[in-house]
Structure 1
Amino acid sequence: MRRYLPPLFAALRQSAREGYSLTSLRGDLAAGITVGIIAIPLAMALAIAVGVAPQHGLYTVLVAAPLIALCGGSRFNISGPTAAFVVILLPITQQFGVGGLLLCTLMAGVILITMGLARLGRLIQFIPYPVTLGFTAGIGIVIATLQIKDLLGLQLSHPPQNYVEQLQLLAEAVPTAHVGDALVAGACLAVLLIWPRFVPKVPGHLVALAVGALLGLLLEALNLPVATLGERFSYVMDGVSHPGIPPLLPSFAWPWQLPGPDGQPLGLSFELIRQLLAPAFAIAMLGAIESLLCAVVADGMAGTRHDPNAELLGQGLGNLVAPLFGGITATAAIARSAANVRAGASSPIAAIIHAGVVLLAMLLLAPLFSYLPMAALAALLVMVAWNMSEARHVVHTLRIAPRNDVLVLLTCLLLTVLFDMVLAVGVGLLLAAGLFIKRMSDLTDTAPLPQHFHEALRELPEGVLAYAIRGPLFFGAAEKALSVLRRFNPEVKVVIVEMSAVPMLDMTALAALENLLHDYGRQGVGLVLAGTTPRVRLKLRRAGVHRESGKLAYVQSLEQARAKALQWLEGDAPQEKKERIQAM
């Protein structure tokens, strides 16, 4: 039984087998510090985006990231809060509070562990590229739209219920815009766009946040107020309220003991679990897709291979434990993992070091975080949304892809924006599958064989017809392909079907073939199947479609099919006709 379970510590063991030296440690140390610096503002900004206090994003990095790195199957994945989950997690927070969000994350962790134990790590191979590109582009659009409020310092009359209403509320709130917030946002976006072109080794978002904070202080001095993280969030210590985030380690608490939407402890009930089951499954599926995609990207950059089942197991353990310490949903982040590889990482130790950097920053620099403008954090998320949307790939795909793939991409994008990602992925997969079935059925056809096709078909008696079936016989194509074999005049007594180009058939095809044989039996017509593959013959025999003299025969070639047809005709024909048949 043990060999069927994905191993824990797969990535760590792989690194150890290849040898871990002082040079490897220096690479991991440099990569961990680099990625840790990148992760600090992102973790806080993404936590705010999903409707919880910024420290919950930092707690996610502290707990989930090292646990996933140790137990997972990718050497380079850096896990933590990611932008892809904003569209799923924000509605959960609004409906069930922070307690519901953490409980849902815990449930998703259990689902991910189950997927890992069930060896579903190759799941990513069955997600069509247009589906993935469509919903990620849609998520990027939604995230960017969510940031307009803080970019301009708008005051919305009430929380929007859908994307269309959100656009309406934003348009109505334009008169409430604050010049200070807009200036900070503009300056930060300019730095984020320009800085990486000239100083790529220094993370541009850190410079942007520093510029935003300094500009915010200057604007405050000029009586142009700027909303800051300290004004929006606070914590209570020893009965005293403090702005910003607490400079403390996370403490253990069951998610259902935390506040629900009304501010009271959430509580635990079967009905609550039932309501959270669907979003938990959506979180698990998206987490699996994004983490495995991230591992593939990292492997491509580093020339390594990951264990997909162990990665799912690690992601599940991380999301199971992190909510117990205030952490929100975690998954592998492609941008941070890519930065990890480029910075010289060689093992999961880099991800552990990156969590240590976040810990030190939270304990030592928490008071300074209070001065970060909300507009600066919103600008950072706008750039994350832009990079996530992969606009260039979307435009390129729309230009070169087949129309069916374009339809799938646009459907997933629009459904993600207007409704939600779960519906988009479900409809996208169904649409892609339906279009694939249509394309495959178009490849399957049945056509009469002309006499010049093969020597054995020349001068066949009038009572013999020859056909060829090309392509798979499955539920989308079987009835259409076999219906051709019913179109002949009453004088035909034997039908030869060449099937060497039929790689498979399913139960629908077997049922259609049995109906065809039944009709042939009533009409006194025999069927000769030529060139069937061993796999197809085995399926036919298991289904009870056996040889029967004068009714059904299996032969290897068209020569044998001709001989069998003449033999059957000779047995049924009167004496004069037998002599003509023997002369052929």
Structure 2
Amino acid sequence: MIPKLFKMIKGKEITKQQLLKDIISGIIVAIIALPLSIALAISSGVSPEKGLITAIFAGFIISFLGGSKVQIGGPTGAFVIIIYSIIQQYGLNGLITASIMAGIILVVMGLLKFGSLIKYIPQTITVGFTSGIAITLLSTQIKDFFGLKIDKVPAEFIPKWQSYISNMNTLNIWTLVIGIICVLIIVFWPKVNKTIPGSLIALIVATLMVKFLNLPVETIGDRFQELSSAIPMPVMPSMSISTINQLFAPAMTIAILAGLESLLSAVVADGMIGDTHDSNMELVAQGLGNIVSGLFGGIPATGAIARTAANVKNGGKSPISGMVHAITLLIIMLALMPIAKLIPMTSLAAILAIVSYNMSEWRTFKSLLKAPKSDLFVLLVTFFCTIIFDLVVAIGFGMIMTMFLFMKRVSETTAIRDLVDEEVFDDDVLDMLKKSDGKISVYQVDGPLFFGIVQDFLIKVNSVKPSTEVLILDMRHSYAIDASAINALKKIVDYCKKHKIKLLITHVQKQPMHVLGNMGIADIIGDENIYETKREAIEIASSYISKIRNFMSGVS
């Protein structure tokens, strides 16, 4: 686990030409991040400088120590609802404590090498909660976009919209006009210039219009009387066992979301630059970034997909671009923070409305509506649970349903075949089976033998013909077995002993053989009854039956 920056320096991958490109890209990304950081902070329920502090400190740490070459860290839209809810319930000190706890959880996850677990989260869940977050983020911007006069907007989705509808008569037409102008600028500005972000142009145009036309539109200065451009000293919040217990669930929510979003962003970045990120190092960096952000009074941070993509498109190829982005934001904050008071709130709402649209993945969502019904069900449940409840509930429900559906699909692909009825053998073996006069039964397990198939397995094997004297169980295609299947095998052994049936097993694969040995079933069955091939087992079974016949004829 070595940060990408250190690997690149050691491998002499950063040339002078690339260094210049990284610096330029970092400055451009900082300009993109500036309005976003301010807007996301305000929407989260904290003052504007908190967003910049987060982008500066967490952004620098994530790039400096991260496992991705081009990841840009900072506040993102996915956190807005979570942060807002935590602040309403636990206050700013509670948010800072939860952020630091989440950082510690992320570091532990990285050290335990949980980074690879992202591959077990299906697309239906990631698209479901991402689209749900986009809807909830958009819903938080209605008040500022329309200029509604609401003292306290409810945190829950449905009460929030009820509040909007009941207060729609307080709409400020000038606020709405400025907001629409900002949306149009952001949408169409890339046709004019793709280097300078449209969100910055919209911010400047809206600020100038409101200032010089003296429009009755709420600004940052109207809502936040004091805006600090000073860098705060790090402060450790007061923690107690009761506080940690209360904030563990919110901290886990932040950690899960930060981990998922950062690793998804890193995967997207890998595809753009043809590289492979270190997921565990990335989790550690994300954790340290959140700890430092919390100590300086910032909000939770993670890898930002849009800013990371902008970094790559502008020539960034090393973590230096992310570090330059953080330093540039620091300079801007120290020099220009007082001017931020003039920014209209509706322009920030317009920026986040576009962010919501971009993160909604509506095209992917639409295509998944044609997926199998089980996948569609997971998608919709995750989506609506994210909107109505929260992310942890959504992911929890989604993963539980996905696991059950997966087990159902696997159990449906595992078959217990009666090979004697199917007559799959060559003529010599068929002749031996015919001579046994139905006293040899051969079953083959096609697929993993686990708890989901155990009952079908027992029913099939227990239905052997009464005349059976030898039962052969072929495990050629069973590459995995679990404790439930071992218990079923014990029952089959007992069944065979009770009915005086000789049990033979063939083609036992590596993992099942290891489990059979560890749990003592191999000893119960007997090594002499475990064979490499079915043919060998059938020959032994045929010989065994012949001996019994000869013995019985001698007795008679």
Per the normalisation by structure 1, the TM-score is 0.90
Q: Which residue of 2 aligns with 1:374?
A: 345
Structure 2 counterpart of 1:274, one-letter code: N
Paired amino acid for 1:183: V
Matches of 1:392 and 1:75, distance apart in 2: 28
**Which residue in the other structure is 1:532 paired with?**
508
Contact 2:131 2:362 survives alignment (8 Å): yes
Confirm or deny: 8 A CA contact 2:59 2:289 kept in the other structure: yes
The residue number in structure 2 matching 1:427 is 397
Which residue in 2 is equivalent to 1:63?
57
Aligned partners of 2:407, 2:77: CA distance in 1, in Å? 33
Quote how far apart the aligned CAs of 1:567 are.
2.6
How far did 1:282 drift?
1.4
Q: How does 1:306-317 map to 2 (within 5 A)?
A: 306-317=277-288
Residue 564 (str. 1) matches residue 540 (str. 2): yes
Match of 1:263 in 2: none
1:438 deviates by: 0.6
Residue 88 in structure 1 maps to residue 64 in structure 2: no
CA shift digits 1:445-492 (9 cap, x unpaired): 112113530121342422222222110001111222232011133222
Offset at residue 218 of structure 1 (A)? 5.2
Q: Which amino acid aligns with 1:232?
A: R
The structural deviation recorded for 1:575 is 4.8
Question: Which residue, out of 159, 173, 196, partners 1:179?
Answer: 173
The 3 A distance-change label for structure 1 pair 547 and 102 is closer
- For 1:393, give the aligned amino acid: T
Deviation at 1:166, TM superposition (A): 1.1
The residue aligned with 2:147 is: 153
Counterpart for residue 130 of structure 1: 124
Deviations 1:348-368, CA, capped at 9 Å, x for gaps: 111121112212221222222
Query: Residue 385 of structure 2 corresponds to which residue in structure 1?
Result: 415
Task: Give the aligned partner of residue 404 of structure 1.
Answer: 374
Please say if residues 15 and 346 of structure 1, whose CA atoms lie closer than 8 Å, have aligned partners that are also in contact. Answer: no
Equivalent AA in structure 2 for residue 457 of structure 1: L
**AA at the equivalent of 1:427:** F
Check if 1:501 corresponds to 2:477.
Answer: yes
The answer to whether 1:200 aligns with 2:194 is: yes
Distance 2:525 2:247 in 1: 62
Moved more, 363-372 or 379-388: 363-372
Conserved? CA contact 1:188–1:212, under 8 Å: yes
Q: After TM superposition, give the deviation of residue 315 of structure 1 in Å.
A: 1.2
Cα distance in 1 between the residues matched to 2:64 and 2:120: 27
| Preserved contact between residue 28 and residue 196 of structure 2 (Cα < 8 Å) | no
Which amino acid letter does the alignment assign opposite residue 338 of structure 2?
A: P
Quick one: distance in 1 between partners of 2:287 and 2:536?
Answer: 59
Q: Does 1:47 align with 2:37?
A: no
C-alpha distance in 1, partners of 2:322/2:526? 72
What residue number does 1:226 align with? 217
1:247 CA displacement: 2.4
Question: For residues 91 and 561 of structure 1, what CA distance do their matches in structure 2 show?
Answer: 66
Would the alpha carbon gap of residues 373 and 157 (structure 1) be closer, same or farther in structure 2, given more than 3 Å must change?
A: closer
Deviations 1:483-504 (A, max 9, x none): 2011133222222222211111
CA contact (8 A) 2:8 2:14 kept: no
- Counterpart position of 1:483: 459
- CA deviation profile, 1:487-524 (whole Å, cap 9, x unmatched): 13322222222221111111110001101110111111
Counterpart-to-counterpart distance in 1, 2:339 and 2:74 = 22
* Residues 159-205 of structure 1: CA deviation (Å, up to 9, x unaligned): 32521111111111111111111111111111122222343232111
Deviates more, 1:312-321 or 1:412-421: 312-321
Aligned residues: 549
Superposition deviation, residue 334 in structure 1: 0.6
1:393 alignment counterpart: 364
Query: Which one is further off, 177-186 or 462-471?
Result: 462-471
Q: Between the two proteins, what is the percent identity of the paired residues?
A: 37
* Structure 1: gaps of 5 or more residues: 1-5, 236-244, 257-267, 580-584
Q: How does 1:57-456 map to 2 (within 5 A)?
A: 57-156=51-150, 158-217=152-211, 220=214, 224-235=215-226, 245-256=227-238, 268-399=239-370, 401-449=371-419, 450=421, 452-455=423-426, 456=429
Give deviations 1:102-129, integer Å, cap 9, x for gaps: 1110111111111122222212112111
Structure 2 CA distance, aligned partners of 1:535 and 1:178? 69
Deviations 1:336-384 (A, max 9, x none): 0111111111221111211122122212222221111101100100111
Whether contact under 8 Å (2:418, 2:443) holds in the other structure is yes
For residue 11 of structure 1, report the CA deviation from its aligned partner: 2.8
- Distance (whole Å) between structure 1 residues aligned to residue 213 and residue 168 of structure 2: 20
**8 A contact 1:75–1:347 mirrored in 2:** yes
Report the aligned-residue RMSD: 2.0
C-alpha separation between the residues in 2 aligned to 1:571 and 1:471?
35
Write the letter of the residue equivalent to 1:519: Y
- Name the counterpart of 2:430: 457
- Secondary structure of the equivalent of 1:490? coil
Q: Is the 8 A contact 1:470 1:499 kept in 2?
A: yes
CA distance in 2, matches of 1:115, 1:187: 44
Q: With structure 2 as the length reference, what TM-score do the two structures score?
A: 0.94
Deviation for aligned residue 1:283: 0.9
State the one-letter code of the partner of 1:231: D
Structure 1 residue 414: Cα displacement: 0.5
Name the residue aligned to 2:521.
Answer: 545
Which consecutive residues of structure 2, in runs of 5 or more, have no partner in the other structure? none
- Distance, in Å, in 2 between the alignment partners of 1:59 and 1:158 is 26
Which deviations, in whole Å up to 9, do the C-alpha atoms of 1:186-233 show, x marking residues without a partner? Answer: 11111122222343232111111122223323553xxx5101111011
In structure 2, give the amino acid aligned to 1:539: V
SS of the residue corresponding to residue 160 of structure 1 reads coil
**Pairing 1:510–2:486 present:** yes
* One-letter identity of the residue aligned with 2:498: R
Equivalence for 1:238: none
- Equivalent position SS for 1:234: coil
- Whether the 8 Å CA contact 1:11–1:307 is kept in 2: the answer is no
Post-superposition offset of 1:552: 7.8
